């Protein structure tokens, strides 16, 4: 089975212990993560050959980032080494009405200052079935926009499917910048993931009123938005979205929808008690790609991706450390809610 290549930045994530605020703590847990790295870990844990492509510095912190991926089986042989620093993000867990918040310290990272020409796609993308990137990668720098574009062109010529999670980050670029950049990339995308504000911020398509407490209620406008995408970018005939009603940091409902060659698929709704609300979109994306790779039915694929995604909400850190059996237990209601012993 051919490999999946994901391309993006991996960062050191520093999180105060338990529920502490940054201003009061002197202890951080130091894990590593980033959208495309997270996807690679998920796929590797599901048994696929996942290769992560990026650039990290040569010092101990850069090595630790690599080690965090290799640990879960991700192929890091194509990660470039060098440059000034590893990006960092500080993660402060919220509670109830106090939102989880993130302080980015990613400017000037080895990845951010790397050149498009450093990535030799003809080398990297040999024997690849899927190429995965999120909207964060082109948001990093004009050079990375170029790198993604070059990769997409290579894929296009060599029959490698391109998956893009739009993943808008308002702290990294404006809607206008995002739209300009993505307009060049979308024509190459085969499978598109778009959540919440992504539709409008990245593609200028109005699908969501930005009220996170009632995302599921807006299913119809989301479907309309998804159809607009497939209409505008004919290569892209698969679009999937997570829909959520977020009531507080801990409590929310989660579901997902997908349009595939015009047909709409819907997953069940999960009532969730959330441990850590990050990287669930990456878990979803990985679930979809795994389903595509193994030719799951569309229904199974969507259910599988959603189950993977909600499992991520129960796990600390960026990586979705679950097995295929655990995902299927959640899907199939075999999750008996009891201690297994």
Of residues 2, 27, 126, 158, which one binds a copy of itself by CB under 8 A? 27
| Residue closer to a copy of itself (CB basis): 61 or 80 | 61
Q: Is residue 317 part of the contact set for a copy of itself (CB under 8 A)?
A: yes
| Identified binder of a copy of itself from the candidate list 97, 261, 262, 295, rule CB under 8 A | 97
CB of 82 to a copy of itself, least distance (A): 14
How many residues appear in the chain?
341
Element (H, E) at 338: none
Sign of torsion over alpha carbons 169, 167, 71, 316? positive
Single out the residue of 1, 2, 47, 101 in contact with a copy of itself (rule: CB under 8 A).
Answer: 101
DSSP state string for 231-266: HH-TT--EEEEEEEEE-SSSEEEEEEEEEETTEEEE
Burial letters 186-195, b for 16+ CB under 10 A, else e: bebbbbbbbb
> Closer CB to a copy of itself, residue 149 or residue 212?
212
**Is residue 251 part of the contact set for a copy of itself (CB under 8 A)?**
yes
- C-alpha 321 chain-centroid distance: 14
Residues 269-308 that bind a copy of itself (CB under 8 A): 270-275, 277-278
What φ, ψ does residue 171 adopt, rounded to 5°? -80, -5
Tell which residue, 251, 252, 229, has the closest CA to residue 240: 229
325 binds a copy of itself (CB under 8 A): no
Q: Per CB under 8 A, which region of 142-150, 158-166, 250-258, 261-269 contacts a copy of itself?
A: 250-258
Residue 16: CB minimum distance to a copy of itself, A: 8
Burial class (CB in 10 A: 0-12, 13-18, 19+), 58: exposed
Which of positions 48-87 make contact with a copy of itself (CB under 8 A)? 59-61, 63-64, 67-68, 70-73, 84-86
Per rule CB under 8 A, is residue 139 in the interface with a copy of itself? no
Q: Is 220 in the site for a copy of itself (CB under 8 A)?
A: no
């Amino acid at each position: 089975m051919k490999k999946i290549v994901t391309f993006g930045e991996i960062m050191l994530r520093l999180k105060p212990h338990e529920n502490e605020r940054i201003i009061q703590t002197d202890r951080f847990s130091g894990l590593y993560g980033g959208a495309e790295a997270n996807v690679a870990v998920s796929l590797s844990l599901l048994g696929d050959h996942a290769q992560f492509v990026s650039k990290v510095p040569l010092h101990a912190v850069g090595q630790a980032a690599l080690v965090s991926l290799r640990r879960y089986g991700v192929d890091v042989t194509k990660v470039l080494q060098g440059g000034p620093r590893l990006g960092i993000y500080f993660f402060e867990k919220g509670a109830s009405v106090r939102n989880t918040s993130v302080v980015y310290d990613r400017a000037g990272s080895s990845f951010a200052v790397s050149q498009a020409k450093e990535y030799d796609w003809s080398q990297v993308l040999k024997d690849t079935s899927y190429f995965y990137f999120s909207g964060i990668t082109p948001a990093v720098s004009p050079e990375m926009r170029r790198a993604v574009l070059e990769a997409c062109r290579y894929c296009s010529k060599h029959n490698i499917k391109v998956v893009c999670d739009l993943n808008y980050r308002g702290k990294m670029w404006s809607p206008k910048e995002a739209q300009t950049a993505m307009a060049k990339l979308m024509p190459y995308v085969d499978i598109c993931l778009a959540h919440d504000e992504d539709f409008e911020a990245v593609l200028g398509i109005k699908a969501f009123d930005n009220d996170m407490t009632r995302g599921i209620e807006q299913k119809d406008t989301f479907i309309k938005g998804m159809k607009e995408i497939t209409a505008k970018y004919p290569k892209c005939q698969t679009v999937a979205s997570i829909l959520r009603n977020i009531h507080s940091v801990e409590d929310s409902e989660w579901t997902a929808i997908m349009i595939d060659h015009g047909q709409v698929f819907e997953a069940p709704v999960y009532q969730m008690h959330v441990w850590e609300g990050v990287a669930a979109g990456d878990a979803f994306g990985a679930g979809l790609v795994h389903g595509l790779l193994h030719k799951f039915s569309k229904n199974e694929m969507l259910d599988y991706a959603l189950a993977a995604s909600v499992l991520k909400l129960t796990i600390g850190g960026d990586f979705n450390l679950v097995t295929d059996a655990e995902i299927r237990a959640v899907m199939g209601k075999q999750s008996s809610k009891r201690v297994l012993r």
